[in-house]
Amino acid sequence: MGLAIGVVVATVLAAATVAPPAASAAPPNGTVRVFWLKPADVAYDQRYPDGIANVMREAQRYYRQELGRTFRLNDPVVEVVTGDQLRTWYENTPACGAKYWWTVCNMQAELRRKFGLGAPDSRWINVGEISAEGEGAGGGGGNGWVILSGHDADGAAGINGNMNRWYGGMVHELGHALGLPDSTYTDGTPMSASFYNYPNTHFSQAQKDRILNGRYGSFLS
């Protein structure tokens, strides 16, 4: 009986520890390319690529609602990248000045090196999320990139509060990637703190025009 139970437990554990999917060829140009970087000492967890993909699909839906057109995602939506370093390296290695940026800038530098990405990149809008945080860590968007740290990745995976917070946050940061600045006050648009009220937030006409006429306007269809 003990041997049989041991075999069953081993089988269940083997099934639960799913390896990340093999790397695929570079996706088509003109799309949003999405990465989840898991540090070398972070276990693979399917909730993260699935959750990040769902956040991206919701943002895609929202942009179509607001602009009448939207960006294209790839299949699979999320490229899983095993990092070269341990979690603490990303969190504690200085990069981009203030500690707020260390984790996400270390991630971005590794993604750029591994995949030959520019900042900005004329081929793709790039979104990177990393399962690392560090004291005071944050993230942001701009120049065709969104770079987010562990609390956003956890939120997308469904383990850090209400999903509308993470949907609104992604809409906001993609707005930066597409060329929008922060609003100067809480004005009901997702480029202000109104993104916390998602989905009850809407782009202004000026913001819509700036996106559609901007560097990445041709990516939207």
Block means of pLDDT (10 residues each) for the chain, length 221 residues? 32 40 79 98 98 98 98 98 98 97 98 98 98 96 98 96 97 98 97 98 98 97 97
Distant-in-sequence contacts of 49-52, Cβ < 8 A, 24+ apart: 49/76, 49/77, 49/78, 49/80, 50/157, 51/156, 51/157, 51/158, 52/77, 52/78, 52/129, 52/153, 52/156, 52/157
Residue 116 CB-density burial (10 A; 0-12 exposed, 13-18 middle, 19+ buried): exposed
Cis-peptide, bond into residue 76, ω within 30° of zero: yes
Q: Where are the domains of the chain?
A: 27-215
**What is the structure's pLDDT at 25?**
82
Cis-peptide, bond into residue 120, ω within 30° of zero: yes
Q: How far apart are the first and last CA of the chain?
A: 61
Q: Which CATH architecture has domain 27-215?
A: 3-Layer(aba) Sandwich (3.40)
**What is the structure's pLDDT at 56?**
98
